[in-house]
Amino acid sequence: MPEFKLISTPPLAGYDQTFGATRLHAPADLAIVSLAFPLGDENAALAAVKSAYGTDMPEPGRSVVAKDGARLVRLGSDQGFVIFTHATPDAERAVAKQLNGAAYTTDQTDVWTGLELAGPGSRAALERICPIDLHPDAFAIGHAARTVMEHLGTLIIRTDDHAFLLLSASSSAQSFLHAVETSLSNTT
Partner 1 sequence: MIINHPLLGPRDAAEFIYLGDAALIDRPDWQAEDAMQQFHDYAYLRDNPAGPHQELWYHEQGDRSWLVVTRDTTTHDITDVQLARDVARSRGRDK
Partner 2 sequence: MTQTNRISGGQIDRARSISFTFNGKRMTGHPGDTLASALLANGQRLVGRSFKYHRPRGIFTAGSEEPNALVQLRSGAHQEPNTRATTVELFDGLSATSQNHRGPLEFDLMAATDLLSPFLSAGFYYKTFMWPRAFWEKLYEPVIRASAGLGRLSMQDDPDSYDKGFLHCDLLVIGAGPSGLMAALTAARSGARVILADEDFALGGRLNAETLAVDDMAGADWAAQVVAELAAMDNVRLMPRTTVYGAYDHGTYGALERCTDHLADAGGKPRQVLWRIYSKRAVLAAGSTERPIAFGNNDRPGVMLAGAVRAYANRFGTTPGQQVAVFTNNDDGWRTAADLAAKGVSIPAVIDSRDAPAPIDIPGIRHIRNAAVMDTVGRKGLKSITLTDGQVIEADTLAVSGGWNPNVHLTCHQRGRPEWRDDLNAFVPGANLPVGMAVAGAANGALTLAAALAEGQATATAQIEALGFTPTKTDTPRAEDEPSTSQAFWHVGESRKRAWLDLQNDVTVKDVKLSYREGFRSVEHLKRYTTLGMATDQGKTANIPGLAIMAECTGKTIPETGTTIFRPPYTPIPMGALAGRSRGTDFRPYRLTPSHNWAKENGATFVEVGNWLRAQWFARSGEKGWRDSVDREVEMTRNSVGICDVTTLGKIDVQGRDAAEFLNKVYANGFAKLPVGKVRYGLMLREDGIAYDDGTTARLSDNHFVMTTTTANAVLVFRRLEFARQCLWPNMDVHLISTTDGWAQFAVAGPNARNLLRKVVDDGHDMSNEAFPFMACGEVTVCGGMPARLFRISFSGELAYEVAVPARYGNSMMDVLMQAGKEFNAVPYGTEALGVMRIEKGHAAGNELNGQTSAHNLGMGRMVSQKKECIGNVLSQRPEMIRDDAVKLVGFRPVNRSDKVVAGSHFINRDDTANMDNDQGWMTSVAYSPSLGHSIGLGFIKRGDERMGEVVRAVNPLQGSEIEVEIVSAHFIDPEGERLRA
Q: Could you list the residues that contact partner 1 (CB under 8 A)?
A: 60-61, 75-77, 79, 131, 145-148, 153
Query: CA 167 to CA 146: how far, in whole Å?
Result: 9
Minimal distance, residue 129 CB to partner 1, in Å: 13
Query: CA 35 to CA 77: how far, in whole Å?
Result: 11
Terminus-to-terminus CA distance in the chain, angstroms?
A: 51
- The site partner of 76 among partner 1, partner 2, none (C-beta below 5 to 8 Å per kind) is partner 1
Query: CA 82 to CA 63: how far, in whole Å?
Result: 9
Handedness of CA 152, 155, 158, 159 (dihedral sign): negative
Minimal distance, residue 132 CB to partner 1, in Å: 8
3-state class (DSSP) for residue 169: strand
Does 22 participate in binding partner 2 (rule CB under 8 A)?
Answer: no
Query: CA 19 to CA 31: how far, in whole Å?
Result: 26
Closer to partner 1 by Cβ: residue 23 or 62: 62
For partner 2, which residue of 104, 146, 162, 181 counts as binding (CB under 8 A)? Answer: 104
Q: Which residues bind partner 2 (CB under 8 A)?
A: 1-11, 34, 36, 38-40, 78-79, 89-90, 104, 106-112, 127-133, 135, 138, 150-152, 169-176, 178-179, 182-183, 185-186
